[in-house]
A = this chain, B = another copy of it.
Amino acid sequence: MQIKHYSHQNRMLVAIDCIIFGFDGLHLRLLLIKRGFEPEKGRWSLMGGFVHADESFDNAAARILKQLTSLDNVYLEQLYAFGNPHRDPVERTASITYFSLIDINQYEKQISHEYHAEWFHLKKIPSLIFDHKEMIKMAKGKLRYKAAFHPVLFELLPNKFTLPQMQNLYEDVYESVIDKRNFSRKILSTGLLIKQNHKDRESSKKGAYYYKLDKRKYMRNFNAFLNFIPNHKI
């Protein structure tokens, strides 16, 4: 006998919420939108949406991210499934959260104004709906954890970037000060950076050399362990 349904079981809505990080050259930032429907319409929220009937979670997350940013092929990784029965007061809704790292400059080119999105400094996150604050906290933890061993923060950097910019990024992620001599030695020792022969002349008088990521090596070595952060705690 062919079974058609699991009877008497509870079905629920499943949504995706995206925790979207960006980096503006000085600080790590988080992209939030103004919620466009009830309840809580008009309050700040993570970008999200319901999973469609014939869509995997990964596809739903990519679709939702693209809706907001118009970007394809960005770094997107499942973070955690939030399933508290009353997290959405309207109706039981599970949220599968995804963690995204995007190049803020790519975003700026493609910006959609439909969602009233803004980049927030991580120290200045406004009040958010539901359990979104908890989601962000977990995403920050995961970013630290991952970046301590994998070169994942390159996903946040533009095509060309300088070592001082990179150091700003690491210092912001770990909320700590890093010695620039040790930092540059460690980063360069990965062999992932290709020095360019021109400088960024905007952020200092002397100018800092641009580097590009060696994409081939990056792909190959992504899962190798690195150890970027001295004395890091999670």
* CB proximity of A61 to chain B, nearest CB, Å: 10
The answer to whether A228 has its CB under 8 Å from any CB of chain B is no
Residue in chain B with minimal CB distance to A83: B57
Count identical subunits in the complex: 2
Residue in chain B with minimal CB distance to A95: B81
The answer to whether A202 has its CB under 8 Å from any CB of chain B is no
The answer to whether A188 has its CB under 8 Å from any CB of chain B is no
* CB proximity of A62 to chain B, nearest CB, Å: 13
List of B residues within 8 angstroms of A54 by Cβ? 85
Contact A13 B9, beta carbon cutoff 8 Å: yes
* CB proximity of A125 to chain B, nearest CB, Å: 23
* CB proximity of A3 to chain B, nearest CB, Å: 5
Task: Provide the bound-state CA to CA distance between A106 and B3, in Å.
Answer: 37
List of B residues within 8 angstroms of A92 by Cβ? 53
The answer to whether A10 has its CB under 8 Å from any CB of chain B is yes
A93-110 near B? 1/0 per residue, CB < 8 Å: 110100000000000000
* CB proximity of A21 to chain B, nearest CB, Å: 21
Contact B93 A6, beta carbon cutoff 8 Å: yes
Also in contact, A90 and B57, with CB within 8 A (given A11-B11, A12-B12, A81-B81)? no
Contact B83 A96, beta carbon cutoff 8 Å: yes
Task: Provide the bound-state CA to CA distance between A51 and B82, in Å.
Answer: 13
The answer to whether A120 has its CB under 8 Å from any CB of chain B is no
Residue in chain B with minimal CB distance to A145: B149
Contact A56 B84, beta carbon cutoff 8 Å: yes
The one of B13, B83, B84, B90 in contact with A11, judged by C-beta atoms closer than 8 angstroms, is B13
Task: Provide the bound-state CA to CA distance between A81 and B51, in Å.
Answer: 13
Task: Provide the bound-state CA to CA distance between A10 and B12, in Å.
Answer: 8
Give 10 pairs: A residue, B residue, CB < 8 Å, sorted on A.
A9-B13, A9-B50, A10-B13, A11-B11, A12-B14, A14-B94, A51-B83, A53-B85, A56-B85, A225-B234
